[in-house]
A and B are shown apart, each in its own frame.
Chain A
Amino acid sequence: GAVVSQHPSWVICKSGTSVKIECRSLDFQATTMFWYRQFPKQSLMLMATSNEGSKATYEQGVEKDKFLINHASLTLSTLTVTSAHPEDSSFYICSAPLLGVDEQFFGPGTRLTVL
């Protein structure tokens, strides 16, 4: 089956620093990947769509300068949380669709805690 990995699985950082989260499709290529944020006791909220070879598409209300997305290759997308603040603490999840299957495969998520 299609596997998506994320690294790191959890990270603690100081306020004001930047954190990079990687999302990889391990056994398939993904021209598109999706980044979600899940706050405690809330649903997954789509933040942005990462497109290989072009700019990411951000959802309304998501600051593109704060959440930098780079889709470096057909198997890797990165999300960088710049100048992180405690309110950015959340669970970040990526997904990638498998072409021809119309199904999203989710990574295990990254727990970010900003002190």
Chain B
Amino acid sequence: AQSVSQHNHHVILSEAASLELGCNYSYGGTVNLFWYVQYPGQHLQLLLKYFSGDPLVKGIKGFEAEFIKSKFSFNLRKPSVQWSDTAEYFCAVNARSGGYQKVTFGIGTKLQVIP
């Protein structure tokens, strides 16, 4: 069974600071990797995804993530955060086996950006 771990549960940053949220997964087969964001009072939205190809993936709102296969990691980064980035961030793994797929989420990281 696959699992996803997010190392930082609550992060507080000042505006313009750089952000890196860790995500590691465990699964021996083919995976698709995602980062979702949940703004206060809103539903999950896709930030970015990795399926194949360039391991450095760029998403919306200046976010990017790097897939490092040898480390089973998919860390999320942003060079300069804004107050509007305050939200909860979820890393997710879609494990694929034949025609079956199952998405497993990390516990989430709550980001608070202080103006």
Chain A residues at the B interface, C-beta cutoff of 8 Å: 34, 36, 42-46, 49, 93, 95, 97, 102-104, 106-109
Contacts and interface: CB of A to CB of B under 8 A. Distances in A.
A67 B42 CA distance: 25
A93 B43 contact: yes
A34 B107 contact: no
Interface residues of B, number: 20
Contacts of B96: 102
Contacts of A36: 105
Interface string B70-101: 00000000000000000000100010100001
B114 interface: no
Name B's interface SS. Answer: strand
B6 to A, nearest CB: 8
Contacts of A46: 102-104
Nearest to A60: B1
B101 A108 contact: no
A55 to B, nearest CB: 15
A109 B38 CA distance: 11
B49 A43 contact: no
A49 B46 CA distance: 20
10 contacts: A43-B105, A43-B106, A43-B108, A46-B104, A97-B101, A102-B32, A102-B94, A102-B96, A106-B36, A106-B43
A106 B44 CA distance: 6
Contacts of B36: 106
Given A102-B96, A103-B34, 5 more contacts: A44-B105, A93-B44, A95-B103, A104-B103, A106-B36
B27 interface: no
Contacts of A45: 105
Contacts of A49: 102
Contacts of B49: 103
A46 B103 CA distance: 8
B103 A34 contact: yes
A52 B23 CA distance: 33
Contacts of B32: 102
A108 B104 CA distance: 18
